[in-house]
Amino acid sequence: MSITIKEIAEKANLSIATVSRALNNLDNVKPATRDLVLSIAGELNYKPNVIARNLVKNTSNIIGVVLPQIDGEFFSEIIHGIDEIAYTGGYHVIVASSHSQRTVAQSIINFMGETIVGGMIILAPMINDQIREIIKGTSVPTVIINGRTHLDNIDTVSIDNYQGAYSMTEYLIKIKGYKKIAHIKGPILNTDASMRYKGYIAALKDNHIQIDESWIINGEFTAESGENGCRRLLSLNEKPEVIFAGNDMMALGCFRVVKAFGMKIPNDIGVVGFDNIMLSEFASPRLTTVHVPISEIGKTATEILLKRMKTTSDNNFKHLKISTGLVIGDSC
Amino acid sequence: MSITIKEIAEKANLSIATVSRALNNLDNVKPATRDLVLSIAGELNYKPNVIARNLVKNTSNIIGVVLPQIDGEFFSEIIHGIDEIAYTGGYHVIVASSHSQRTVAQSIINFMGETIVGGMIILAPMINDQIREIIKGTSVPTVIINGRTHLDNIDTVSIDNYQGAYSMTEYLIKIKGYKKIAHIKGPILNTDASMRYKGYIAALKDNHIQIDESWIINGEFTAESGENGCRRLLSLNEKPEVIFAGNDMMALGCFRVVKAFGMKIPNDIGVVGFDNIMLSEFASPRLTTVHVPISEIGKTATEILLKRMKTTSDNNFKHLKISTGLVIGDSC
DNA sequence: CTGTTAGCGCTTTCAC
DNA sequence: GTGAAAGCGCTAACAG
């Protein structure tokens, strides 16, 4: 059995109320008593019972993180980022990754229903009406990562996909001198994917490059879909000079196909990606890509969340964009 | 405000005690009343307040997972495995990954001190005395993954590193006909690493192959240490025919160096690894390696933990080994 | 400044 | 079978 404020109270000849106040560093405590309480607490190695505190305060120092099916690297880095900030603020991180048994929506309902979390971070690149409704109906402070930003009664943090794709495309045009730039898109409903596509289109337009629909291919952010897309592009009469894949996994799929076609990167065709996952560092040639500071996103989201958990009455919702950077490899 | 058993009790004209019993499916409840309670609960969309339950029961339905600094893929897969089993049993998963602010030991103390977890899963390839002491002193059910198995008052789950390394070495000898087999070890205090080394040695001995100390190199499980090890081996007068790296990251480090030396894998030298991380699938040639079912490990550990959390009085501690399998690529 | 008291929502004796 | 009541450890009025 671990020790409680009651025992401290006995040792100190005080009431539990005073002990509680001293421990929580409230104002109305005589410095001497506070010191006494703290020293006894230290001696006894007292640790507060968070469960009890949460019960009476009707909140929780646990942050629920809801993650969809995502690749390992993104998953672990984002949690690391969240955990680091949460820890320094005295919070815990509980994860619910969706899997065969559970969807994103169920995770959220579960968290709220069990009143087990005091705040939520939801990573939802494909936020839908169901999720939107659930979130709208809750009183648990929530931050959404990568959702559409037009949810304006909630804080959001997202990657600046548009800018990243724009920069990459402009780099291909202005620095590398490419004019025939193909793009393999991500899933249709994926916000990241569509913003990247828009950035690509905008950069082409701003640089007066004609848009060729046959060079724009639908993909699924998987290596396989990258392979398929690449195969389509390489079988065209009018081939592109470079392929801008919507993410690195698809770019690596392109690598495979290009090699299978007996062509060389970057001499015969260039390939660039988006995300800067670890795999792309090991690809040969090293992939040119857009770096996304994943851990940073997690940290930022957590900072915003903690602020909101402490002061509920702020109606000024933030919509932060995390900027990206180009990683120049040898693949174009 | 969410609804409580009190409200159900009022609606049903029962006491909260009976409602509680009905909800928890206890014996002494008339079927009719139980049905009534359950239907009202369903109607009102009642969700139990887990915090309150945990407080009175002095336990928690949260499982704490303590992870050291490990690579992204391992991290996410093991959590997925744990989470899947935990979820189906009605448990939550809280993670504490060590980072700049916190060590493994601190994570554990934190979990226990705050009485926030009802069970722990600790991934500790390098378990030390400090951690051992802490665990010994706790009453929280705990399962250790990959620790030394000679902690006999605690359940453990580990990879069968010995068997995996033995099989790989034997494969290299018997199927591939190699005789000059080098090994790059992992960190000295790492249990996985030392068991792999032992498996390698045993297979050599059993097949009457002389052990050449100059072909046994210390590594750190990182790509860089693999590069260094490989460089050492390639600069020997008597070069090995194949390098068995203690893990895939080091094997990929070898890939880089071999290529830099202008040599070809597998013709000039073979390279094999251990872990079967996703990267090795994308390496060219595809790495031959030992597959470790990471998710499986997480699942197994969780199953054992849940059992122990339910019945504390079992003194029969389990020490499970998860077996591995060879993944045949083209790198030897 | 400190003590008394009433709960937070739930489980669990102990009666009836 | 069911209800009354105590209490898990803590916080937060309300008194003094």
Domains assigned to chain B: 1-47 (1.10.260.40), 52-158+296-321 (3.40.50.2300), 161-291 (3.40.50.2300)
> Which of A274-278, B170-174, B180-184, B315-319 bottoms out in mean pLDDT, i.e. has the lowest?
B315-319
Written as six digits, the tokens of B166 are 């033995």
Does the CB of B7 sit below 7 A from strand C? no
Strands A319-322 and A155-159 turn out to be parallel
**Smallest Cα–Cα separation from B287: which of B247, B229, B323, B321?**
B247
Residue A278's pLDDT band (cuts 50, 70, 90): confident
Whether B149 shows a pLDDT value over 60: the answer reads no
Mean pLDDT in residue range B193-221: 96
CA distances from A327 to A171, A172, A324, A331, B257 (A): 11, 13, 10, 11, 23
Whether B153 shows a pLDDT value over 90: the answer reads no
Q: Tell me the nearest-neighbour CA distance from B214 into chain A, angstroms.
A: 28
Q: Residue with CA nearest C3 C1'? A: A15
The size of the A-B interface in CB pairs under 8 A is 130
A205 Cβ under 8 Å from any chain B Cβ: no
Mean pLDDT in residue range A21-44: 87
pLDDT digits (tens, 9 = 90+) for B33-78: 999 999 999 998 898 888 999 899 888 899 999 998 777 788 889 9
A303 Cβ under 8 Å from any chain B Cβ: no
Higher per-residue pLDDT: A4 or A139: A4
**Residue to substitute from B60, B82, B94, interface A, most A β-carbons within 10 A:** B94
Whether A244 shows a pLDDT value over 60: the answer reads yes
> Which of A107-121, A194-208, B214-228 bottoms out in mean pLDDT, i.e. has the lowest?
A107-121
Does the CB of A139 sit below 7 A from strand C? no
Residue A5's pLDDT band (cuts 50, 70, 90): very high
Whether B130 shows a pLDDT value over 90: the answer reads no
Chain A neighbors of B102, CB-CB under 8 A: 87
Q: What is the pLDDT of residue A150?
A: 63
**Residue to substitute from A51, A58, A257, interface B, most B β-carbons within 10 A:** A51
CB interface of A with B, residues 50-79, below 8 Å: 50-52, 54-55, 60, 62, 71-73, 75-77, 79
Residue B1's pLDDT band (cuts 50, 70, 90): low
Does the CB of B53 sit below 7 A from strand C? yes
The SS3 call for residue A257 is: helix
Does the CB of B1 sit below 7 A from strand C? yes
- Of all residues in chain A, the one with the smallest CA distance to B278 is A279
A47 Cβ under 8 Å from any chain B Cβ: yes
Q: What is the pLDDT of residue A312?
A: 65
Interface touch A279/B283, C-beta < 8 Å: no
Residue A194's pLDDT band (cuts 50, 70, 90): very high
Q: List all nucleotides in chain D with at least one atom under 7 A from a protein Cβ.
A: 1-5, 7-13
pLDDT digits (tens, 9 = 90+) for B316-326: 888 899 999 99
Q: What is the pLDDT of residue A146?
A: 80
Mean pLDDT in residue range B140-156: 80
Strands A325-327 and A289-291 turn out to be antiparallel
pLDDT digits (tens, 9 = 90+) for B238-249: 999 999 999 999
Interface touch A116/B50, C-beta < 8 Å: yes
Higher per-residue pLDDT: B134 or B22: B22
Q: Which residues of B258-284 are buried (b: 16+ CB within 10 A; e: fewer)?
A: beeeeeebbeebbbbbbbbbbbbebbe
Q: What is the pLDDT of residue A318?
A: 87
Q: Residue with CA nearest C5 C1'? A: A17
B16 Cβ under 8 Å from any chain A Cβ: no
